[in-house]
Amino acid sequence: MLLFLNLKKLVIKFKPEIYGIIICLTLGLFSGLTVKISDYSWYNNLIKPTFNPPNWIFRPTWSFLYITIGIIFGIIYRTRKDNNLLLWVFITHFVLNILWSPIFFYFQRIDLAFYNISILWVSTVLCIFLARDNWTIIFLLSPYFLWISFAWLLNLKIYQMNTLYSIDYT
Give the pLDDT band of residue 102 (cuts 50, 70, 90).
very high
On whether the 14-163 domain is CATH 2.30.31.10, my answer is no
148 neighbors 121 (Cβ within 8 angstroms): yes
Distance CA 144, CA 19 (A): 19
Would you say residue 2 has pLDDT above 80?
A: no
> Per-domain residue ranges for the chain?
14-163
Question: How confident is the model at residue 4, as a pLDDT?
Answer: 52
Give 25-65 pLDDT, tens digit per residue: 888 888 877 777 777 788 889 999 999 999 899 989 999 99
What pTM, to 2 d.p., does this model score? 0.83
Average pLDDT of span 145-158 = 98
Q: Is the dihedral of CA 96, 129, 75, 72 positive or negative?
A: positive
Question: How confident is the model at residue 84, as a pLDDT?
Answer: 86
